[in-house]
Structure 1
Amino acid sequence: MVAQVTKNQTNLYDTDYNLWVLETVKKLENRDLDSLDWENLIEEVLDLSKRDKRKITSLLMKLIEHLLILQYWECETERNRGHWEREILNFRLQIIEELEDSPSLNNHLNSKFLDCYQKGRKLASKHSQLPLNIFPEKPIALIEQILDENWLP
């Protein structure tokens, strides 16, 4: 019987994810722990952390991209400065919000900073169509400055 319940839950997970989530929530609310699809539930909870990490690193890459564009794409600065500064603030605010909700993500962000910088460089180069070597290989600032709402290059 237990094997059949697990098989049905797994099938539901594979065939109707939204319904699986709703059913899992009901079971949790009712404290019906014996009929939970533990394998998929554990996988989903772990994936929440992975999603948060991917989100915050993506935001940092985009923030770095826009800081680099602001500093090095000189022929477009006058026309686009306001837009880039708004984007920079937007990415900073989102990162700060994520860190307020999950302060432990700060360690992840610090460990990924150099990688995010290199990816942000590539994005800035593609966005601006400027050669990659226009953008410094070493970060233009410390991560604390990058995240500081009052700092611009």
Structure 2
Amino acid sequence: MTTQLSSNINSNNLYERDYYLWLSHTAQLIKEGKFSEVDTAKLIEEIEDTGRSEKRAIKSNLVILLLHLLKYKYQPAKRTNSWKASLRKHRRRLRDDFQISPSLKRYFEEVFDECYQNSREQAADETGLPLNTFPTLSPFTPEQSLNPDYLPEN
């Protein structure tokens, strides 16, 4: 991000007009030590939004992972390689997130039960099976769900 803001570009409302250019310009100002010119309110907002986005990604990947574990366990006759591929993909995404930001593992554990409930409801919707087919407590531990070799049996 080394795009420099040319002197003829108005930096007012740059955030709203060209987000990428605003990021580049802000990074350049910080590199040059021009802290008084940085829109700190917007910068703080962006940093906080990035954290929320990381958490949303954890929840999204976990819901899909648990959904496919449920479908794999409770629909053995319909098991497909695409379910296995989805399990591998979402486990990998979570592992990658934890490698980059180890503190997100704690968040994963905090939202595991909530995500399981969402997966349980979605599994009932997608499979047409009654909701009570799927136990109210997760049949998978957080460790099992992340284990690349774990596949549930019926």
TM interval, short-chain normalised: 0.7 to 0.9
User: Are 1:83 and 2:82 an aligned pair?
Assistant: yes
Question: What TM-score, normalized by structure 2, do the two folds share?
Answer: 0.86
Q: Which amino acid aligns with 1:92?
A: R
Q: Once superposed, which parts of structure 1, at least 4 consecutive aligned residues long, lie more than 6 Å away? A: none
Q: Retained in 2: the 8 A contact 1:117–1:139? A: yes
Q: CA separation in 1, counterparts of 2:71 and 2:106?
A: 26
- Matching residue of 2:5: none
Q: Retained in 2: the 8 A contact 1:63–1:87? A: yes
User: Are 1:29 and 2:50 an aligned pair?
Assistant: no
> How much does 1:29 deviate?
2.0
* 21-30 vs 46-55, which moves further: 21-30
> How much does 1:57 deviate?
1.1
- SS at structure 2 position matched to 1:151: coil
How has the CA–CA distance of structure 1 residues 137 and 117 changed in structure 2, closer, same or farther, with 3 Å as cutoff?
Answer: same
Structure 1 or 2: more helix by fraction: 1
Q: Retained in 2: the 8 A contact 1:57–1:112? A: yes
Q: Which of residues 46, 65, 73 is equivalent to 1:44? A: 46
- Structure 2: segments with no counterpart, 5+ residues: 1-9
Number of aligned residues: 143
Q: CA separation in 2, counterparts of 1:69 and 1:9?
A: 52
Q: Retained in 2: the 8 A contact 1:121–1:132? A: yes
Q: CA separation in 2, counterparts of 1:67 and 1:32?
A: 51
